[in-house]
Structure 1
Amino acid sequence: MELTAYLSQIPWEMWILGALSLSIGWGIRGNFGHEIGAAMPGALASMAIVIMSGRPDWWQRIHYFAMFGAIGWSFGGSMSYMQVVSYTHSGHSLTIFYGFANLFVIGFLWSAPGGIAIAMPAILTSDQLKLFFFPFLVVFIGWALQQFFVDLFFHRHPMQRHESPLYWYDTDWLDVLIAMIAVLIVVIMRGGFDFSTSLILHMGVGWYVAFLVLVNLLKLRMTPPRGDNWSGCVGIVLGALVFCFRNGLEQVALAILLTGIVGGIGFASGQQIKLLFIKTGLQTNWHSILEQIQGFLFGIALVAGVGTLSILTPRITAATDLPVWTHIFAVVFVLVIITYLNHRKAAGTWIEQVESLPEKFFGLPTVGLFLRSKGFFGWFEIIYVSVGIAFILILTAHTKNPIDLIPESWLGRSQLLYLVFLWWIVTFNFERALTGFSPHRLVTEGVITFNAIIATILMALKPSPAKEIVPLFINCVTWLMDIAFYGTVITLVIITIFWLLTRIVFSDHPIAYSGLHIRFGPERTATKAKPKPGERHP
């Protein structure tokens, strides 16, 4: 059977709720940014796909899917892409083509790690899956210590970050190094490599190899002088693919390529749709519309990759047979840690925009960010730590004696987790915008809220029964080759069409709603020179 036939068997509810969920999360991400912002759509869309899969074994792992989805989708948040968007507005022919081509690259590199991560709880046995949690914990502790000590000894204003001795093409090289060291500590403690540590190190080594070769050796800069984390993301994907083929995980490679290619096309398509809307002459927050369209198309990509696995991968036996602490850790990670790391930015916005709100109450900062430069521990942290303790106590009690608050069925639990996370992030997103709210915010917070209502209705509907499982391995290699070949051809055709359409509609005129950025030629604005001390980082 052809791959397209399997795609057609994915339930329509999964397509809609998965795409709508990532659109909601992506619209919210735009207000928070970076890796921690990108974690929200990853978690939300993963849960939507699981709920609509109709698979009880996946429902039993809903919290693991959410956690892995958040982590996988967060990697792309390290990439700088607004300058690439601006390239398509430039009116300069070669720069426009370059812009659309790199929007595909960024979209691919954002989507593919999401496919990698979400495939893990979909295919792994409980014995394999549980191996990831201790390395995750050690890595998170390492990153927390890194943030504290970098702030303590190398604190710089974000716009002067290039003055730090740790600045290296504005990349996350230190974060990756800390993660690799943390995993190597786990390797030593365990007496050797295992499935989890090997995968993480494949991705980490891949990050460094790609960064050193593409940027440092070949001097390839996508958006100079902006950051070059895109090169590291290339290495993450290549490292993961190497790991898959070394370990017979062709089905994961399938999810990587399918999610990545569809995601790349979707990311570029969202920008083309926005440009055509701008041509209408209507005045609104077009960037927010771009983000929500891109999120919807990203959701389509994730459903294509992971939804296919829901049909092609065998049932997981003993899906919940993992240590109790991993269940609690996954739920707390999604509902408390991810939300805290984003919600705290709302508190910072309130302080900036509300004159009557002081930076400190009774000697404690409003928000301390666990950083010495911000006061370390503030009222916001007191509240969130209390919430975290409450979750841990409630979930621990539930493992010993089930409480009525948590549904007995795994579908009910899945729906509850989705619902709580959805409205939690929708609410604090509105909170952040509230102090500076204006009519043009309706296309952001208004649309997000209405979409959340629709998602709530869809989530509450009973999903279609799971499709019959069909073994994947017979056609897998052929499918991988077809996806790579036809995906490349289709991508080149689509990018050319977008370039040609933009030239026809706008000619050589710069397009509104963006700063002027030109990549090539005598009028180029791009410079590979490092920003000078005292200047603001672009």
Structure 2
Amino acid sequence: MILLPALAMSVGWGFRGDYGHEAGAMVPGALVALAVCLTSRRPDWWNRATIMAFLGAIGWAFGGQMSYGRVIGYTAGSQWIDVTYGYASLFLIGALWGGIGAGVLSLALTMKRSELERFVFPLAFLWAFWLAMDLSGLTEYSHELWSSYDVDWVAAVSAALVFSMLYRARPDFHRPCRFLLLLSIGWCAGFFILTPVLGLRMTPPRGDNWAGCVGLYLALVFYLKRAQNSVALRLSAYGFLFGGVGFLLGDLINMLGRSQWSIIGSWPMLQGLDYWKWMEQFFGLVMGAGIGWGAKSLLCQTEDQDRKLSEIDSNEFCSRVLAAPEEDTTARGFNFIGLVFLLVILPWKNLHKNVIQWQKEKWIPEEFWNMPAGFWFLVVGLLLSLAIIVAIWETRRQRLALIPDSNLGRAQWLFLLILWMSLAGDFSKALPRLAEKSVFLVQLSFWITGALCTLLVVRLKEDDQRLPQEGLTWSDRRWSLSLFTKLISVILTAALIGSVGWLTIQTHDEPLPGSHLRFE
């Protein structure tokens, strides 16, 4: 339960590095959520696989707006204060990424089905509103009006306006819109207080979306505390800690490779590699392992892992286990919207960049039969999207023989589809550059990791379910982390940041190429 989420997020984060931004980060978010779902041995979680994947994608998308290229440049310097500042900033960025992602994912494990279903229309309406703004040019025009800090303020403000409007429209929109409005206002407040008011800039002159994410994360924590959702706070804390540590240690690997430290400088086989990519994949590996570990702490464990649930009385081994989320409605609109998003919208948001690159590098003809080459890719994409939507609809009506009836089987299919669509798309993008040693090794690592994930997934069996007869509710205070654990985590993190900063400057005498100064 730790290995599969770690591998899934590692390869997903490698994909994110090639596609970037929010859409790229959705892939590892969906994969890690499904990995946790699949390995849980919980049929109640398998039943919510689509919701978990959808919320995982959305949760990790928030961090995709943060810029960190210049921060990594600080860690390539030769002054301890610059390097340590860079690592501290990377910890914060990674922590926000993991904390927000895990916090949003946890809603799928704790909310009633009826409460989740109320989010369908507000989220779909916001996506349609944003799409209309992009196509009309309103988004770009609004950014031109005020772009002093290069942040995504238009998305946050427009989201706040949309949810304010929907809140007044219907009473059943009140709870979801109140939560989504809180996140939007939190982003706006975090940015305006930290940057324009207090003048805090992490990576000048780059964008300061990090400040908005700080506000959003605090708003999320505030909401979870008000709701007394101890499980969500616990899982979010795991994501926060392991996300920060993963990014910090991943960049240390990047710096060791960039400085050609020790055996890296003496072994030809370790030279000329893309250590930036290894940083990304290690970041995903650690963060995914942390999410898996956090989810594992919510589940029933036995001393004899080979014994099946039918052979053990639940009271014998379930001293603390999360109760099943309440399925208080038969509505499945969230499942339909989630599948359309994951299998249609998500590939479009990422893989259209392949065609743009092929055109830019002249790997495809400019025209074919008097039509731009991009037009034919558009036709193919629309036909495939239509086929997928029809398949989803037929599956919903229980008329598609291709899809198994079991929830575990469907979750396995969804994981493998997202994984291999993403890897095949990334491979086709990188194919013309495979002669480069660094590109070849990265793609090879993607496929090896993907194959290992596939091997783990196809070995999962439905006859080893573990659903306890009773369990602790998500609001039980026994899920809360102790004050001692929190203090130790803070102390060890601070020591780790300082130590890694000191170790890094020992590997080189002069600033490395691409370094930046933060303090004169």
TM-score scaled by length of structure 2: 0.88
- Tell me what 1:316 maps to: 325
Write out per-residue CA displacement over residues 208-255 of structure 1, whole angstroms, 9 at most, x where no aligned residue: 111111001110000000000000000111001111111221221122
Query: Quick one: which amino acid aligns to residue 437 of structure 2?
Result: P
What is the count of residue pairs matched by the alignment? 486
Among 174, 196, 203, the alignment partner of 1:216 is 196
Q: Which amino acid aligns with 1:389?
A: L
Which residue of structure 1 lines up, in the alignment, with residue 212 of structure 2?
A: 232
Indicate conservation of the 8 Å contact 2:59/2:102, yes or no: yes
Match of 2:310 in 1: none
Q: From the superposition, tell whether residues 398 and 216 of structure 1 become closer, same or farther in structure 2 (CA, over 3 Å).
A: same
CA 1:54–1:82 in 2, change beyond 3 Å: closer, same or farther?
A: same
Tell me, in whole angstroms, the C-alpha distance in 1 between the residues paired with 2:293 and 2:166: 34
Q: Which amino acid is 1:497 matched to?
A: S
C-alpha distance in 2, partners of 1:485/1:41? 30
Report Cα offsets for 1:477-530 as digits up to 9, x if no partner. 751534432221111011111012113333x4223xx51211111xxxxxxxxx
| Counterpart check, 1:206 vs 2:186 | yes
* Per-residue deviation, residues 66-88 of structure 1 (Å, max 9, x unmatched): 11100000110000001111111
Match in the other structure for 2:518? 519
What residue is the counterpart of 2:91 in the other structure?
A: 104
Question: 1:186 and 2:186 equivalent?
Answer: no
1:333-352 Cα deviation digits (max 9, x unpaired): 10111011100001111111
Aligned mate of 1:257, from 219, 237, 243: 237
Measured after TM superposition, the shift of residue 429 of structure 1 is 0.3
Q: Is 2:507 aligned against 1:505?
A: yes
Cα distance in structure 2, aligned partners of 1:424 and 1:356: 21
TM-score by length of 1: 0.86
The Cα of 1:315 is off from its aligned counterpart by: 1.1
Counterpart of 1:84? 71
Give the match for residue 306 of structure 2: none
Distance 1:467 1:152, change over 3 A: closer
- 1:110 deviates by 0.7
- In the TM superposition, residue 168 of structure 1 has moved relative to its aligned partner by 3.6
Identity of counterpart residues, as a percentage? 30
> Which residue of structure 2 lines up, in the alignment, with residue 113 of structure 1?
100
Specify the alignment match of 1:8 in structure 2. Answer: none
Cα deviation 1:337-369 (Å, max 9, x = unaligned): 1011100001111111125521x54565444xx
Residue in 2 that maps onto 1:245? 225
Where in structure 2 are the equivalents of 1:113-152 lying within 5 Å?
A: 113-150=100-137
Alignment partners' CA distance in 2, 1:355 and 1:402: 41
Q: Is residue 403 from structure 1 mapped to residue 400 from structure 2 by the alignment? A: yes
TM-superposed deviation, 1:329: 1.4
| Corresponding residue of 2:149 | 169
Question: Does the C-alpha gap of structure 1 residues 26 and 495 become closer, same or farther in structure 2, counting only changes over 3 Å?
Answer: same
Task: Note if contact 2:116-2:334 (Cα within 8 Å) is conserved in structure 1.
Answer: no
Letter in 1 for 2:194: L
Deviation at 1:54, TM superposition (A): 0.6
Cα 1:59–1:170 change in 2 (3 A) is: same
Report matched runs for 1:485-496 at 5 Å: 485-496=487-498
Task: Write out per-residue CA displacement over residues 21-68 of structure 1, whole angstroms, 9 at most, x where no aligned residue.
Answer: 000110011110000111111011111110001111111111111111
Q: Secondary structure at the match of 2:519?
A: coil
Question: For residues 79-137 of structure 1, what are the alpha-carbon distances to aligned partners after superposition, in whole Å with 9 as ceiling and x for unaligned?
Answer: 00011111111112210010111110001111111111111111111111111111110
Structure 2 unpaired stretches of 5+: 301-320
What's the offset of the Cα at 1:465?
A: 4.2
* C-alpha displacement of 1:467: 7.2
CA shift in 2, pair 1:401/1:455, >3 Å: closer
Q: Deviations over 1:371-397 (max 9, x none)?
A: xxxxxxx43333223222222222222
State the AA in 2 paired with 1:115.
Answer: A
Name the amino acid aligned to 2:511: P
SS of the residue 1:31 aligns to: helix
Q: Distance in 2 between matches of 1:150 and 1:226?
A: 23
Name the CA distance, whole Å, in 1 between partners of 2:74 and 2:209. 18
Q: Is the 8 A contact 2:118 2:173 kept in 1?
A: no
